[in-house]
Structure 1
Amino acid sequence: MSDSYRAASPQVVDTSRDATSTTLDGMTGRRAVTAAVVGNLLEWYDFAVYGYLATLIAKKFFATGDELVALMSTFAAFGVGFVVRPLGGIVIGRLADVKGRKAALMLTIFLMAAGTFLIGLIPTYESIGVLAPVLLVLARLMQGFSAGGEWGGSTAFIVEWAPDNRRGFYGSFQQASVAAGLLLGSGVAALFTTALSADQMDSWGWRIPFLLGGILAPVGIYMRRNIDESPAFREVQETKAAATPISGLALAGKAFGFTVLWSVAYYTILSYMPTFTQKFAGLSRTASLWSNTLGLVVLVVAIPLAGHLSDRAGRKPLLLTSCLAFVALPYPLFNVLVSGATLATVVSIQVLFALMIAAFSGPGPAAIAEIFPTSVRSTWMSVGYSLATAIFGGFAPLIATWLIGKTGSPISPAYYLVAAAVTTTLVIWSLRETAHDKLK
């Protein structure tokens, strides 16, 4: 919104935003944000549990006779889910900007649940041959299309419900719920790996986490069915405000660069690490999952604290601190991991990585949402975020596995993290501080 427009109609802008600032004091606002957060948690449990069971999926769906090739095929199927995220971001994001955030969020949770439930039911390669990996890829495509719309839709919805002086804190719950979904997936995988024998897990136990995801989905669907549209979206609908496609595309480019490190860190540290610590840090399957789960617990707790701090200190100080930490620390930390580290050391390193990610993920949702005007926020934010995630994040486990195979060095994934951090540092440095601005 231009300064001239604000000067011409201060009463209209201030009144609408004052009303928005009080929404979370009432039951409607709290229910809306809770529904978005719970649904988001279930969505990301569904999407992430695949990564935690990758070594088992490799055996069941890719009978190549080469363990490394089978694992790379599994992570390729994981990455396929990200390829369609930009398409989901465009289609579902546009739906959110035209028909409303609620309609988009209902669609995303249904699609994600269907894809997850399908993975739990697919016969193995031994039973149906090549049709098994084909169906697996189809299920991942459904999940990816859903995730492409979910991230932008839920981020816009939560930030638009938040008071202007608490957008960082409330927006952080979007990322906390993503981390909580990853935590739930990691915890469930660890629980069944602990409770069942290796033969039981290999035979049928790996299916249970996927089937649970499909069964739990109606909870999120019910909660989202009973929410109201965000005040900011209703205001735009009433005033018919609009932004040009060119400005939206340019802003999406900023969101793209903003997301590079965010995505690479999430999917290298939080999805790939259980596989890495099994193969190169000497942990058992159970120990690697529990270690990852403890790191995720710290992440879930730390994200809202970082979001709250960003409302006071600004978004950029925390974002840049995270970026610089990812420039300096991955190489020495990965070096420790592959040098015969104890379980306690591995857990400590994963906790440190979690704090580094939290420094970005706390202010991240509000900061990226503040780049866009409400009228195009869901569409273009989803496009920029999903493209970066598809290119750099979704294939992070595959790229990490490929780098190790190509170089022969298990430390090589650290270079990928450093390169991503340098890229995002330059983008964030160029952005202005928006923590204390009114939402456009």
Structure 2
Amino acid sequence: MPVQQELEAPAVTRHRPLVRAAARRSNPPLRRTDITVTDETAVKRAVKAAALGNAMEWFDFGIYSYLAVTIGKVFFPSGNDTAQLLSSFATFAAAFLVRPLGGMVFGPLGDRIGRKKVLSLTMIMMASSTLAIGLIPGYQSISFWAPVLLIVFRMLQGFSTGGEYGGASTFIAEYAPDRRRGFFGSFLEFGTLIGYTAAAGLITILTVTLSDSSMESWGWRVPFLVAGPIGLVGLYMRLKLDETPAFQKLESEGAFEKRESTPFRQILTTQWRPMVLCIALVAAFNVTDYMLLSYMPTYLSNSIGYDSTDALVSIIIVMLVLMAAITFVGRLSDRIGRKPVMMAGSLGFLVLSVPCFLLIKMGTVVPVFAGLLILGLCLLPYVSVMSSSLPALFPTDVRYGSLSIAFNISVSLFGGTTPLVVEGLVSGTGNDMMPAYYTMLAALVGVIAVVTMKETARRPLPGSPPSVSTPEEAAELVAASRP
């Protein structure tokens, strides 16, 4: 298997130019104790645990977005179908309103007590809140309490996920060797796609096998109830992990005893420039991500009149294509850099969004799938390198907090609101090309952000020692750093 072979191939000699380049950036000369030699087995365990948690997060959010029409009918008063759908999307967006609050709580906490403990806590909260949604009675049973409870548990979901992505990407980035961070980081978004694909696949099966009345009465609950067992597996895997080497090094040096109990003020005063850049990058990424993977099935069925099952199947196939390619693009970014890869995605959306939506509007199988696939290939550069690029914007002692706060502010404003905003624009203007224009606007933000960011591939994380795969590579790095 090519991915497995890459995971197990150290090959020092072919990376000597990268080692020498890293050494030249070190001043004064490096000592052997300055360099972290990663444990390949530990790196793989960390990647699996972090990716499973991310899969859990996006399974939870995916099932809600794919069941938006059904949830609107179950939890909101009958009457106007558009009002029900908008109410459902508004509840979907409500979870994102509290995500920045979750980031402000869990991010700095992860910088103080450790990444592992906080990621275990967020896993428990995510699984519990998703399971609870599957147990809420519908509007016909408990009237207005149904949407109230739905909003409460959705907001608990959002609060818990506020600490998930920042922690998971930080966890992988701090475990991975410098020259392979793009490859290992891509597995986090591989988990995202697994979560989305599992959600779409399960809902497609339920939709095909159950009648509309059965789906509305009990079938919609099944995906939410599945979250409980998945959460327990993810929690078990995370509890078995050790803290990241970078965090352990800072902890051993007493770095956390020399500062305030929480670095929140430090984050806002010292990291605002990289946080603004992070917000812009995440805005471009999340608008396009939610547009394609969350909103598109609803757009196809409501605006285009496309069969809802066919829409889900098309999205699933596109996601499978992305899953097959994502680690290769992550590995490519380790060779050519993150900036060229992300710029390709930004320019792709900027130039191709309108042609793709014109294809989709044709409403037949081949043009619809072609449009979705091209949009998916434009998204591929983002999902492949974002989780390795964002942690590299911040120093180790405030990385979890800075990334979580900036990431969740951006997701709250631009990501989770995408289905609601675009559906409102389509309904309000009657123009079903609005999703294309919104995507282009996000892509323009992405172009500007990528131009202004620094290249981070093959370089140590800020505030962290150089990280390599083998003792031989460490020895070569030490030798190359000497005059």
With the shorter chain as reference, the TM-score category is over 0.9
Give 2:451's aligned residue: 429
Matched, 1:273 2:273: no
Once residues 35 and 55 of structure 2 are traced to their aligned partners in structure 1, the CA distance between those partners, rounded to angstroms, is 28
Q: Deviations over 1:56-110 (max 9, x none)?
A: 0010111151111111110010001111111111111112111111111101111
Give 2:39's aligned residue: 23
Give 2:245's aligned residue: 231
Give 1:304's aligned residue: 327
Once residues 297 and 410 of structure 1 are traced to their aligned partners in structure 2, the CA distance between those partners, rounded to angstroms, is 27
Deviation of 1:8 after TM superposition, in Å, equals 3.6
Give 1:371's aligned residue: 393
**Identical aligned residues as a percent:** 39
Question: Secondary structure at the residue paired with 1:121?
Answer: coil
Q: After the TM superposition, which residues 186-197 of structure 1 pair with which residues of structure 2 at under 5 Å, given as runs?
A: 186-197=200-211
The range that moved more, 286-295 or 27-36, is 27-36
* TM-score, scaled to structure 2: 0.86
Give 2:341's aligned residue: 318
Once residues 305 and 315 of structure 2 are traced to their aligned partners in structure 1, the CA distance between those partners, rounded to angstroms, is 14
Once residues 255 and 420 of structure 1 are traced to their aligned partners in structure 2, the CA distance between those partners, rounded to angstroms, is 14
Deviation of 1:240 after TM superposition, in Å, equals 3.9
Does the 8 Å CA contact 1:112/1:147 hold for their aligned counterparts?
Answer: yes
Q: After the TM superposition, which residues 23-172 of structure 1 pair with which residues of structure 2 at under 5 Å, given as runs?
A: 23-24=39-40, 27-172=41-186
Q: Deviations over 1:209-255 (max 9, x none)?
A: 11111232111111111111111111121224479432223221111
Deviation of 1:424 after TM superposition, in Å, equals 1.9
Instruction: Name which of 308, 312, 328 aligns with 1:285.
Output: 308
Once residues 25 and 190 of structure 2 are traced to their aligned partners in structure 1, the CA distance between those partners, rounded to angstroms, is 36
Does the 8 Å CA contact 1:318/1:359 hold for their aligned counterparts?
Answer: yes
Instruction: Name which of 245, 249, 264 aligns with 2:272.
Output: 249
Unmatched tracts of structure 2, length 5 or more: 1-22, 257-262, 463-483
Once residues 118 and 376 of structure 2 are traced to their aligned partners in structure 1, the CA distance between those partners, rounded to angstroms, is 30
Q: Which structure has the larger Rg over C-alpha atoms?
A: 2
Question: Secondary structure at the residue paired with 1:170?
Answer: helix
The range that moved more, 270-279 or 234-243, is 234-243
Matched, 1:401 2:423: yes
Once residues 83 and 272 of structure 1 are traced to their aligned partners in structure 2, the CA distance between those partners, rounded to angstroms, is 18
Instruction: Name which of 1, 4, 7 aligns with 2:27.
Output: 7
Question: Secondary structure at the residue paired with 1:113?
Answer: helix
Does the 8 Å CA contact 2:59/2:195 hold for their aligned counterparts?
Answer: yes
AA paired with 1:370? Answer: A
Does the 8 Å CA contact 2:47/2:188 hold for their aligned counterparts?
Answer: no
Give 2:286's aligned residue: 263
Once residues 247 and 129 of structure 1 are traced to their aligned partners in structure 2, the CA distance between those partners, rounded to angstroms, is 49
The range that moved more, 421-430 or 31-40, is 31-40
Instruction: Name which of 171, 188, 203 aligns with 1:174.
Output: 188
Does the 8 Å CA contact 2:111/2:397 hold for their aligned counterparts?
Answer: yes
Moved over 6 A (4+): none
Question: Secondary structure at the residue paired with 2:162?
Answer: helix
Does the 8 Å CA contact 2:339/2:455 hold for their aligned counterparts?
Answer: yes
Does the 8 Å CA contact 2:89/2:419 hold for their aligned counterparts?
Answer: yes
CA change 1:170–1:269 in 2 (3 A) is: same
AA paired with 1:69? Answer: A
Unmatched tracts of structure 1, length 5 or more: none
Instruction: Name which of 316, 334, 355 aligns with 2:357.
Output: 334
Deviation of 1:121 after TM superposition, in Å, equals 0.6
Matched, 1:358 2:372: no
Deviation of 1:32 after TM superposition, in Å, equals 2.1
Does the 8 Å CA contact 1:302/1:355 hold for their aligned counterparts?
Answer: no
Does the 8 Å CA contact 2:54/2:189 hold for their aligned counterparts?
Answer: no
Question: Secondary structure at the residue paired with 1:204?
Answer: helix
Higher relative contact order (CA 8 A, sep 6+): 2
Once residues 433 and 54 of structure 1 are traced to their aligned partners in structure 2, the CA distance between those partners, rounded to angstroms, is 39
Does the 8 Å CA contact 1:23/1:162 hold for their aligned counterparts?
Answer: no
Deviation of 1:290 after TM superposition, in Å, equals 1.2
Does the 8 Å CA contact 2:174/2:245 hold for their aligned counterparts?
Answer: yes
Once residues 158 and 60 of structure 1 are traced to their aligned partners in structure 2, the CA distance between those partners, rounded to angstroms, is 39
Once residues 156 and 139 of structure 2 are traced to their aligned partners in structure 1, the CA distance between those partners, rounded to angstroms, is 20
Deviation of 1:337 after TM superposition, in Å, equals 1.4
Aligned length: 431
Give RMSD over aligned pairs: 1.8
CA change 1:5–1:169 in 2 (3 A) is: closer
* TM-score, scaled to structure 1: 0.94
Deviation of 1:38 after TM superposition, in Å, equals 1.6
AA paired with 2:319? Answer: L
Once residues 405 and 139 of structure 2 are traced to their aligned partners in structure 1, the CA distance between those partners, rounded to angstroms, is 35
Deviation of 1:285 after TM superposition, in Å, equals 2.1
Once residues 74 and 443 of structure 2 are traced to their aligned partners in structure 1, the CA distance between those partners, rounded to angstroms, is 35
AA paired with 1:30? Answer: K
Deviation of 1:4 after TM superposition, in Å, equals 12
Does the 8 Å CA contact 1:61/1:133 hold for their aligned counterparts?
Answer: yes
The range that moved more, 214-223 or 233-242, is 233-242
